[in-house]
Structure 1
């Protein structure tokens, strides 16, 4: 989101919108889209929402604080999308399928959010709240595979943790490949999300007993 306001020449540019922190976070997503994570600065975010270069420091002490808020927003967006998907499911592998499809749809429509969350695994900090949300989603994932194994729903009696890791890697690999344009055929490129969901469905079908 970019907010532009008109000010008389020479006047200072006080910000009266009331949601400066939110506007700065949204502007940072745009910066990442255009320049990559390395292009982010508090000064650039301030320029994009048309406030003085000192105004953001009422909310963010530095670039690291700003990126922490950006990661938080990306993680929250993912959690909301995934949690909404499996609430009506009861079978563990149906929960896996629903959550996996939601993850693929979210990553496909929010590639910058996905890029930021991926970077937070390596080089960007996470708040305690963001880490808690990620841990909660991971806990669901492993619990579903544990329940599926306990009920005999997994073919060949595999280690449920290995099945969970393999399925998570499948999702990440699919979303990354299509986000980077690495489709193997024009037919797949025509509807990447449908292709990703079909590939994940095939993976799960091979796991079911």
Structure 2
């Protein structure tokens, strides 16, 4: 670690894009109280502990967080996000899949299902907040070798979950989902759910392209 006694204060810095082999060496020596947008490359190893310490030290009200190249070393992402209730936009970019660890899907599930339970309320904790209560947009991207999540699960999350106002941004090819799943997603958009799914097979919006194909086929 670089031998600074006190962290360097940058009181007006609002945006940080960090790409370094040893991110903890940088995060341990700065204080950014005005930080609002943070892009972080997670591909050089786990820096979650250093990130959490940095957030505690800075006391910033982060609005945008982009986590790129998430891999098997990023299992503590949920605990990191619990520390950022002010977050409005989140990007999760996966680098590879490790066993059953699916960070984007786990986070999506937590977003849609985490609400105060009656047990918490009975125990005198009625102010317990849901996970990322201010979140408006979550974006999931990945390399081309695997999916960030199973599209079959997304209609269930939106239909039975509690965060229908959250916009989901992602990409898909025609082989990524069945027509049945695409139809269920299309119906969700007709109910007001905001799904922005880029079409990697063609171009444009995946669901709009699916709608056009249905019209042509007379479905």
* Fold-level similarity (TM above 0.5): no
Greater C-alpha radius of gyration? 1
Write 1 or 2 for the structure with the bigger share of helix. Answer: 1
Per the normalisation by structure 2, the TM-score is 0.28
Which of the pair has the greater relative contact order for Cα pairs under 8 Å at 6+ separation? 1
